[in-house]
């Protein structure tokens, strides 16, 4: 424990860093018409009625004179993906607004986009606060989004880790949070609408797996497709291939290892439709996640896949079943599916 007579400023800063905050950018427009702004995590709410917020500015800041004279300022609570904006507004000497589109708010103050929330303020009070000036703003208007906020803690950026979703089951056993169980359950639930989709077409999960493998590149033997289908834990029989052929979705040509399997036009359409349904199911399963959280989830799962992949057969490696003629790239190129990535 440090008392007021013995602490040094480094330790003091470190202790203050224990307080996790969001990150804001405070902007204003100078009397000379120049836009000014800086990154600040000293922001806080001050009053609800009247609505007021506060933040503090280092007296050594090159922005001090501008903010001292300004009648208005805007506080932007940055979203999780705006780390670069935070760094840009903390950098001395640079044009902090470079490359950013701004709107104009009260007092012609520049407003940034894509933030978690914004508060347009009239400067109500300025207080001396040691080596900082404390600005209190009366909030004239505000807007907010459901973007997750950027977090600052211990001198580093961070993200909010959402609590585990409350699922319908009670957590009766510790096994409930065994990763394998969670992955299996998440997979089973994610796939429910997709199974319903293939069942409507008179197909089952194994037919679905065969079409999925072919969507990564058709023109493979029955034996090769079967071995790839096994990656999903299924064993496809010759009958499943025959069913798809009877439905006019694939052709099984002559050749070794059971013959060469190719999509028919109808099969290709069916697989493409199913891929769109997959994107819908994924969006539904990650409802309420920010784009960053979805990416984080995928990155972590990639690492699990990497950590557990030592013993898997070589032909299950992505590069061995992913081909030039895969349907995903066609889907991503279709204008109505802009943004869809395999």
Ligand X SMILES: Cc1cc2nc3c(=O)[nH]c(=O)nc-3n(C[C@H](O)[C@H](O)[C@H](O)COP(=O)(O)O)c2cc1C
**Which residues of the chain form contacts with ligand X (CB under 6 A)?**
23, 38-42, 55-58, 61-63, 86, 89-90, 92, 152
Query: Least distance (Å) from ligand X to the CB of residue 119?
Result: 15
At residue 308, what are phi and psi to the nearest 5 degrees? -110, 5
Q: Which stretch of DSSP H or E encloses residue 305?
A: helix 291-307
Would you say 39 or 212 has its CB closer to ligand X?
A: 39
| Residue of this chain nearest to ligand X (CB atom) | 42
Q: Decide whether 150 or 327 has the Cβ nearer to ligand X.
A: 150
Q: How far is the CB of 38 from ligand X (least distance, A)?
A: 4
CA-based max dimension of the chain: 89
Q: Cβ closer to ligand X: 6 or 92?
A: 92
Least distance from ligand X to the Cβ atom of residue 132, Å? 6
- Cβ-based nearer residue to ligand X, 53 or 57: 57
Based on CB atoms, which residue is closest to ligand X, 84 or 223? 84
With vertex at residue 135, the alpha carbon angle to CA 53 and CA 60, rounded to the nearest 5 degrees, is 140
Provide, rounded to whole angstroms, the least separation between the CB of residue 75 and ligand X.
11
CB of 33 to ligand X, least distance (A): 18
Q: Which two tokens stand for residue 122?
A: 């009239």
The count of other CB atoms within 10 Å of the CB of residue 23 is 26
DSSP strands (E only) in the chain = 21-22, 24-29, 35-40, 44-47, 52-58, 72-77, 103-104, 110-111, 117-129, 132-144, 150-153, 156-159, 220-221, 250-253, 260-263
For 49, the token pair is: 């009625």
Query: What single-letter DSSP state applies at residue 178?
Result: -
Minimum CB separation of residue 329 from ligand X in Å reads 40
Q: Which is nearer to ligand X, 20 or 192 (CB)?
A: 20
């Amino acid at each position: 424990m440090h008392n007021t007579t013995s602490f040094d400023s480094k330790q003091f800063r470190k202790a203050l860093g224990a307080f996790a905050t969001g990150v804001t950018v405070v902007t204003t427009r100078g009397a000379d018409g120049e836009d000014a702004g800086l990154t600040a995590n000293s922001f806080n709410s001050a009053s609800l009625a009247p609505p007021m917020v506060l933040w503090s500015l280092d007296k050594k800041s090159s922005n001090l004179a501008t903010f001292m004279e300004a009648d208005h300022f805007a506080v932007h609570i940055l979203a999780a993906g705006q780390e670069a904006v935070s760094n840009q507004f903390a950098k001395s000497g640079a044009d902090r607004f470079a490359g950013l589109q701004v709107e104009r708010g009260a007092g012609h103050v520049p407003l940034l986009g894509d933030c978690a929330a914004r508060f347009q303020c009239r400067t109500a009070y300025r207080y001396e606060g040691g080596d900082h000036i404390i600005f209190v703003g009366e909030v004239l208007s505000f807007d907010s989004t459901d973007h997750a906020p950027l977090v600052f803690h211990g001198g580093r950026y961070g993200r909010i880790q959402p609590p585990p979703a409350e699922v319908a089951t009670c957590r009766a056993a510790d096994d409930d949070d065994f990763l394998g169980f969670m992955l299996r359950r998440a997979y089973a639930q994610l796939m429910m609408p997709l199974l319903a989709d293939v069942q409507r077409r008179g197909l089952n999960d194994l037919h679905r797996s065969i079409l999925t493998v072919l969507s990564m590149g058709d023109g493979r033997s029955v034996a090769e497709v079967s071995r790839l289908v096994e990656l999903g834990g299924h064993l496809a029989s010759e009958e499943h291939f025959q069913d798809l052929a009877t439905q006019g979705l694939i052709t099984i040509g002559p050749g070794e290892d059971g013959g060469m399997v190719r999509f028919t036009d109808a099969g290709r359409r069916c697989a493409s439709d199913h891929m769109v349904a997959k994107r819908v199911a994924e969006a539904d399963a990650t409802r309420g996640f920010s784009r960053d959280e979805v990416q984080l989830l995928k990155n972590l799962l990639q690492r699990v896949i990497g950590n557990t992949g030592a013993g898997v057969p070589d032909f299950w490696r992505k590069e061995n079943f992913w081909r030039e003629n895969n349907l995903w790239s066609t889907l991503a190129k279709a204008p109505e599916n802009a943004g869809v990535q395999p």
